[in-house]
């Protein structure tokens, strides 16, 4: 049921995608103007819609009946229906978590890219969890990204952007998928429940969101399990059968008692939890999460969204508790919890790891803490700087042309022969922050696409323009020496055209 529910409500067109408004608008505009990129990198945490967006984009690009100036796929043509069913010949989905060998990448991507699409407009490769590729696989992929065939689009998706080599990332149009807003997730869960004619209590929706930690796919899966109970109304009582009871208040209470060096209260709480059927390993993990949350909230004065989803009551509890808990003490508690966590595997007693945490933490606390520690008034903390969602800034051709000579100047000084190459090169187009350089001689093109040189020029140019700017070099024997750009380049570099 949970899987069918997830598939049933998976967005099939842009209008169905919740959240990620900036990214969706950009993609729609690209489709309308016919200027989709050759390589995309979708980064973001679990369940933020990366693969869903990739599939809808693939569908729109290859849709047989999508009219010019429109962005939505029709959903009816052979290409659309095949992508929905996951059997399109021209849209190839790979999960790098299971395809890490360089040979697979070569076979599936490099070899396949050379072949023209079988039936549809483009061959589209969606590579999920792309950070799992080996270094040699990335190198193989990089070769295709450097000179993507006109009929190929790569959509790379990752939860770990920092593991993507800069050379690969810089050749892709990057989109950062933000965690979905609480309201967006609530709205989607309610829409699904309404479509299934089931009433779900607000408190149950809250619990689903808290348990799923903000991942939409997990939230939908949990809702699916609840709907499978076939109740007309899902109340807290009905949900209790499936959703683990929250131990939020107990974790806060435990940490407070521990900080007060109240060993008796801590031992008693652990015993009570065990008797009430609470899994102590899960409680241990919840304590670890809570201590981390308290440390972050204490330092920032807010409950950042990346920590997870909290009800208003939980937010108040977190912010209230941080006032009495010094960050250094929480840090030591976290270290203790991490260290003792592994003991569950080796020791039969379910109590011992937590008992050791209690004993060690209280032992380490100063015998007589100054009384003001507990009544300490909170220090006003400045809110953290707002993090703007990443977006792709489009740099105009004018700006790029202005900075281009500056970007190559230092390298030309080191390698004067490069000046000659550039003198016979012209910027003939700029699309989506990618420069098209036309060169008169094939050997000049070879020189310009040398990876080391290209990376260096692109890095400098990107720095000057304040956005990632790349270039491709195209051989154009008809590029005339009287081209104004060539003339300007000649002036800049003092070269001459060898006719």
The binding site for Zn ion (CB under 5 A) comprises 63, 73-74, 77, 80
152-158 and 173-177 strand pairing: unpaired
Provide, rounded to whole angstroms, the least separation between the CB of residue 52 and Zn ion.
17
Q: Confirm if 383 and 300 have CB atoms less than 8 A apart.
A: yes
Of 198, 119, 134, 122, the residue nearest 168 (C-alpha): 134
Provide, rounded to whole angstroms, the least separation between the CB of residue 125 and Zn ion.
19
The SS3 assignment for 155 reads strand
Please identify, using beta-carbon distances, which residue of 5 and 56 lies nearer to Zn ion. 56
Whose structure tokens read 């270039």? 471
Please identify, using beta-carbon distances, which residue of 62 and 178 lies nearer to Zn ion. 62
Please identify, using beta-carbon distances, which residue of 74 and 263 lies nearer to Zn ion. 74
User: What is the length of the chain?
Assistant: 499
Provide, rounded to whole angstroms, the least separation between the CB of residue 406 and Zn ion.
46
Q: How far apart are CA 43 and CA 54, in angstroms?
A: 11
Provide, rounded to whole angstroms, the least separation between the CB of residue 229 and Zn ion.
37
Whose structure tokens read 């009800």? 311
Please identify, using beta-carbon distances, which residue of 12 and 158 lies nearer to Zn ion. 12
Please identify, using beta-carbon distances, which residue of 74 and 198 lies nearer to Zn ion. 74
Provide, rounded to whole angstroms, the least separation between the CB of residue 13 and Zn ion.
10
Please identify, using beta-carbon distances, which residue of 19 and 73 lies nearer to Zn ion. 73
Please identify, using beta-carbon distances, which residue of 69 and 383 lies nearer to Zn ion. 69
Of 358, 182, 150, the residue nearest 254 (C-alpha): 358
Q: Confirm if 272 and 145 have CB atoms less than 8 A apart.
A: no
Provide, rounded to whole angstroms, the least separation between the CB of residue 64 and Zn ion.
5
Please, where are the H alpha helices in 415-466? 416-423, 442-448, 451-465
The SS3 assignment for 141 reads helix
Residue 80 half-sphere exposure toward CB, CA atoms < 13 A: 15
Residue 247 half-sphere exposure toward CB, CA atoms < 13 A: 25
Q: How far apart are CA 331 and CA 299, in angstroms?
A: 12
Provide, rounded to whole angstroms, the least separation between the CB of residue 53 and Zn ion.
17
Please identify, using beta-carbon distances, which residue of 59 and 444 lies nearer to Zn ion. 59
Helices (H) then strands (E): counts for the chain: 25, 10
Provide, rounded to whole angstroms, the least separation between the CB of residue 128 and Zn ion.
23
Provide, rounded to whole angstroms, the least separation between the CB of residue 71 and Zn ion.
12
Both tokens of 248, joined, read 């939020």
* DSSP secondary structure letters along 44-59: ESTTSSHHHHHHHHHH
Please identify, using beta-carbon distances, which residue of 85 and 328 lies nearer to Zn ion. 85
The SS3 assignment for 376 reads coil
Both tokens of 451, joined, read 């990876």
Provide, rounded to whole angstroms, the least separation between the CB of residue 68 and Zn ion.
14
Q: How far apart are CA 296 and CA 329, in angstroms?
A: 13
Provide, rounded to whole angstroms, the least separation between the CB of residue 175 and Zn ion.
23
- 451: DSSP letter: H
Of 244, 228, 247, the residue nearest 236 (C-alpha): 244
Region class of 305: left (phi > 0), else alpha (psi between -120 and 50), else beta: alpha
Provide, rounded to whole angstroms, the least separation between the CB of residue 59 and Zn ion.
7
- 163: DSSP letter: G
Whose structure tokens read 């031992």? 267
Please identify, using beta-carbon distances, which residue of 56 and 193 lies nearer to Zn ion. 56
Please identify, using beta-carbon distances, which residue of 84 and 492 lies nearer to Zn ion. 84
Q: How far apart are CA 112 and CA 107, in angstroms?
A: 7
Please identify, using beta-carbon distances, which residue of 74 and 302 lies nearer to Zn ion. 74
**What is the layout of strands, in order, in the sheet containing 425-431?**
425-431, 434-439, 470-475
């Amino acid at each position: 049921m949970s899987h069918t529910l997830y598939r049933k409500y998976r967005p099939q067109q842009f209008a169905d995608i919740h959240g990620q408004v900036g990214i969706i608008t950009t993609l729609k505009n690209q489709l309308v103007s016919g200027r989709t990129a050759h390589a995309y990198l979708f980064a973001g945490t679990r369940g933020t819609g990366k693969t869903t967006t990739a599939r809808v984009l693939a569908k729109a690009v290859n849709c047989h009946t999508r009219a010019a100036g429109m962005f939505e796929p029709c959903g009816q043509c052979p290409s659309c229906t095949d992508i929905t069913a996951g059997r399109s010949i021209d849209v190839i989905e790979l999960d790098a978590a299971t395809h890490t060998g360089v040979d697979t990448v070569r076979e599936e991507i490099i070899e396949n890219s050379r072949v023209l699409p079988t039936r549809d407009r483009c061959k589209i490769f969606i590579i999920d969890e792309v950070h799992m590729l080996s270094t040699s696989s990335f190198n193989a992929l990089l070769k295709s990204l450097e000179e993507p065939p006109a009929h190929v689009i790569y959509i790379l998706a990752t939860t770990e952007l920092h593991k993507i080599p800069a050379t690969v990332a810089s050749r892709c149009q990057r989109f950062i998928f933000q965690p979905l807003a609480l309201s967006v997730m609530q709205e989607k869960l309610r829409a699904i429940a309404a479509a299934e004619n089931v009433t779900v209590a607000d408190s149950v929706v809250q619990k689903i969101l808290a348990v799923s930690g903000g991942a939409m796919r997990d939230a939908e899966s949990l809702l699916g399990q609840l709907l499978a109970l076939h109740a007309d109304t899902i109340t807290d009582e009905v949900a209790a059968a499936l959703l683990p009871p929250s131990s939020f208040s107990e974790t806060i209470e435990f940490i407070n008692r521990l900080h007060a060096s109240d060993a008796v209260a801590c031992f008693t709480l652990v015993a009570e939890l065990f008797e009430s059927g609470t899994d102590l390993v899960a409680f241990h993990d919840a304590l670890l999460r809570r201590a981390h949350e308290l440390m972050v909230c204490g330092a920032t004065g807010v409950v950042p969204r990346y920590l997870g989803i909290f009800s208003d009551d939980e937010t108040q509890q977190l912010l209230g508790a941080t006032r009495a808990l010094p960050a250094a003490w929480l840090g030591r508690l976290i270290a203790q919890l991490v260290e003792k966590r592994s003991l569950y595997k080796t020791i039969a007693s379910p109590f011992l790891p937590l008992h050791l945490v209690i004993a060690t933490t209280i032992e380490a606390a100063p015998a007589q803490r100054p009384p003001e520690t507990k009544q300490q008034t909170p220090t006003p903390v400045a809110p953290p700087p707002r993090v703007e969602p990443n977006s792709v800034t489009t740099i105009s051709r004018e700006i790029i042309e202005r900075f281009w000579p500056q970007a190559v100047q230092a390298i030309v000084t080191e390698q004067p022969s490069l000046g000659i190459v550039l003198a016979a090169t012209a910027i003939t187009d700029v699309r989506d922050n990618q420069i098209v350089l036309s060169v008169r001689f094939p050997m000049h093109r070879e020189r310009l696409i040398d990876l080391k040189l290209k990376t260096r020029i692109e890095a400098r140019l990107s720095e000057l323009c304040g956005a990632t700017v790349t270039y491709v070099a195209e051989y154009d024997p008809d590029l005339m020496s009287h081209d104004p750009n060539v003339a300007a380049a000649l002036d800049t570099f003092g070269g001459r055209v060898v006719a």
